Structure 1
Amino acid sequence: MQSRRTRRLEIVGTAVAAVVALVVALNLVGVPVRPPFWPGGAQGSNPFDAAAVHVDPQSQAARAAASAAGDDARILGRLAATPTAVWLTPEATPVGVVEEHVRRIAVQARDEDSVALFVLYGIADRDCSGQESAGGLPPDQYRDWVQAAADGADGIGTSAVVVEPDALADAGECADPDERIALLEDAVTSFVDADVTTYLDAGHSGWVAPEEMAGRLEQAGVEDARGFSTNVSFYADDATERAYADAVADALGGGHYVIDTGRNGNGSDGQWCNPPGRALGRAPSVGDGRLDAHLWIKPPGESDGSCGGGPAAGTWWTERALELARAAGW
């Protein structure tokens, strides 16, 4: 019996062949058709090879830069110009809003030949271990919200998504881990079916052992995705995190990954919530081998939570942004 992945790849392959034939025919008769499309479908190649991540002109960093002055304005302006993921939460973009919100960003990215990078963050019992970002949607509402988000990107240029930071890493501490894994598998399916390059989050090097994480990723359908993400909202240095990601990939028998390097310039001291003495990390860039890219997934100026002297999780914190930037020599 064929696996679900094999059947999907056969369908994608047939569709890609048809699209290629159509593009060639249209160009031959003088109707220009511009890329992007990927041989093998959205999961088949690295979307960051040929394009940078889209810069959202309406980001919190951009708004902070517009209201700053002097050297603060210079630093915040540079921060705002650095390609960073756009987070989707049901609190900020509910089901009636999220589709159009995603579509707006996807269209902007398509028109400038960049990659629209999203982070999905609204699963039921969200942040069940840390509680700083507690919330999310009940399962049925979550599925509807996820589908609306995927629909917003469907058929529009080049998009990628990181699915639910920490959701697999803290699944063992949540009330219903089986339901959580089922929700993640459904989310992966929604975005894969919408031709959005999909990375399922795998926590970070200081949390779950690679073999255990690989097992959880497999349960959540990573075989249908492009791969996984690590270090989202954490501070582990590049070498430590890449070693962890490679170990996870080895346990999976292969796969690709992206690493969040937005705030790991000084590495980790073991703390995760607004630890002192940290710095901005490596700028977003394409990777090599199994590493698709170094990305800024967590916006560096957003708080981890009310611990460490910060405002609520996800709230823009100008003082923190400037501290991280100056520690990195900006």
Structure 2
Amino acid sequence: MRAALATATLATALTGTAGAAGPGGTARTAGAAGAPPVQAAGEFWVNPDTPAARQAATWRESGRTSDALFVERIARRAQAEWLHKENPGDLVRARVDEAAAAGRTPVLVAYFVPHRDCGDYSAGGARDADRYRAWIDAFATGLGTRPAYVIVEPDAVAQQIAGCQAADASERYGLLAHAVARLKQQPGAKVYLDAGNASWIPDEGRLVEPLRLAGIARADGFALNVSNYRTTAESTEYGHRLARALGGGKHFVVDTSRNGNGAYTGGDKPWCNPPGRALGTPPTTRTGDPAVDAYLWVKRPGESDGTCRGGPAAGTWWPEYALGLAHRARNT
């Protein structure tokens, strides 16, 4: 259920050199001579310097050409940039500027709320409420007037409802409301408050008051399935129910990064590095549903959910897991 920490930089040492954005936003990764560039597909910005891009280059150089091609299924798609460290302003500014230069829109995740992940695999966040407000202000300032999709604090609301004792509910909801309001002061920001996934709080009515306290009225909508595996159909049906419970009119986005084979039902912690999963629908705003603003790859495929099922630390690039996701994908 929890959103595993996604790193802004490569978490494990890999050889190979990441390329730069080519004309028209085409992302090129270094590789063997004559290797095809990784294409930046769709309307969202593709960072050319991701773990997936570096891995593809490394495998191509070492002769693992077939595996490189599969991992490029990840590298060529737009993935969210997770902001989870102090002083986010410079990185936010760099990302929105790079995306604007390519004529694309970046997807950013604000992930620094105090008592993040309730002390579990992705524990961390701001030391206190004042530091968080300052962090959000730096994030928003970094956005400037550039366009961006911003996902606000994966897990924070649903985890509180589910019984997190580490955080004070009133303070947390107040901080989330502040984050939404501050980010919406930036004219290019489309802001989505995270609402968990379809299996976490099955009774969507339980989310209504917490989301209201957390500022959903000022947000563009809510985000579903971040770092989870519920199918797009299940998430969309749940999203419509939640939108109706909120009074109608709210839109939402769905994380489709790893939901190609749906949820795992074979054991404990089905949200944590489950076997047999696959990449899902590539990022797009062409959803065919007027209430669904976009399918996004919020979780970066191939980055671990945490130290379970043999995985490395949360957010760490895991090449073989990434390869499995890509091998089993049907529509990327």
What is the TM-score with the length of structure 1 in the denominator?
0.80
1:223 shift after superposition: 0.7
Matches within 5 A, 1:208-219: 208=201, 209-219=203-213
- What is the CA deviation profile of residues 171-190 of structure 1, one whole-angstrom value per residue up to 9, with x for unaligned ones? 13233111111111111111
Aligned equivalents of 2:294, 2:175: Cα separation in 1: 26
1:89 aligns with 2:81: no
Contact kept? 1:53, 1:116, Cα under 8 Å = yes
Which of 98, 103, 118 is the aligned partner of 1:108? 98
1:77 shift after superposition: 2.2
1:79 shift after superposition: 1.2
Aligned equivalents of 1:269, 1:206: Cα separation in 2: 12
Matches within 5 A, 1:53-202: 53-69=44-60, 70-90=65-85, 94-95=86-87, 98-128=88-118, 131-138=120-127, 139-156=129-146, 158-172=147-161, 173-174=163-164, 175=166, 176-195=168-187, 196-202=189-195
Q: Match of 1:115, SS? A: coil
Contact kept? 1:109, 1:116, Cα under 8 Å = yes
Residue number in structure 1 paired with 2:26: none
Residue number in structure 2 paired with 1:203: 196
Aligned equivalents of 1:305, 1:226: Cα separation in 2: 30
1:274 shift after superposition: 0.4
Identity of aligned residues (%): 44
Residue number in structure 1 paired with 2:278: 279
- What is the CA deviation profile of residues 25-73 of structure 1, one whole-angstrom value per residue up to 9, with x for unaligned ones? xxxxxxxxxxxxxxxxxxxxxxxxxx71111122222222221221121
Kindly name which structure, 1 or 2, has the bigger radius of gyration based on alpha carbons: 1
5+ residue gaps, structure 2:
1-41
Residue number in structure 1 paired with 2:239: 245
Residue number in structure 1 paired with 2:251: 256
Q: Match of 1:105, SS? A: helix
Residue number in structure 1 paired with 2:32: none
Aligned equivalents of 2:295, 2:55: Cα separation in 1: 24
Contact kept? 2:192, 2:221, Cα under 8 Å = yes
- What is the CA deviation profile of residues 147-179 of structure 1, one whole-angstrom value per residue up to 9, with x for unaligned ones? 1111111112x1110001010000132331111
Aligned equivalents of 2:117, 2:207: Cα separation in 1: 17
Contact kept? 2:44, 2:284, Cα under 8 Å = no
Aligned equivalents of 2:170, 2:238: Cα separation in 1: 25
Aligned equivalents of 1:202, 1:141: Cα separation in 2: 24
Contact kept? 1:214, 1:249, Cα under 8 Å = no
Counterpart of 2:241, as a letter, is A
Contact kept? 2:73, 2:326, Cα under 8 Å = no
5+ residue gaps, structure 1:
1-50
Counterpart of 1:259, as a letter, is V
Contact kept? 2:92, 2:142, Cα under 8 Å = yes
How many residues end up aligned between the 2 structures?
273
1:258 shift after superposition: 0.2
Q: Match of 2:156, SS? A: coil
Aligned equivalents of 2:94, 2:55: Cα separation in 1: 21
Query: Which structure has more helix as a fraction of its residues?
Result: 1
Which runs of 4 or more aligned residues in structure 1 lie more than 4 Å from their structure 2 counterparts after TM superposition? none
Higher relative contact order, chain-length normalized (CA < 8 Å, sep 6+): 2
- What is the CA deviation profile of residues 99-157 of structure 1, one whole-angstrom value per residue up to 9, with x for unaligned ones? 1111111011112221111011111011117x01111112211111111111111112x
Contact kept? 1:285, 1:293, Cα under 8 Å = yes
Calculate the aligned-residue CA RMSD, in Å.
1.4
Residue number in structure 2 paired with 1:20: none
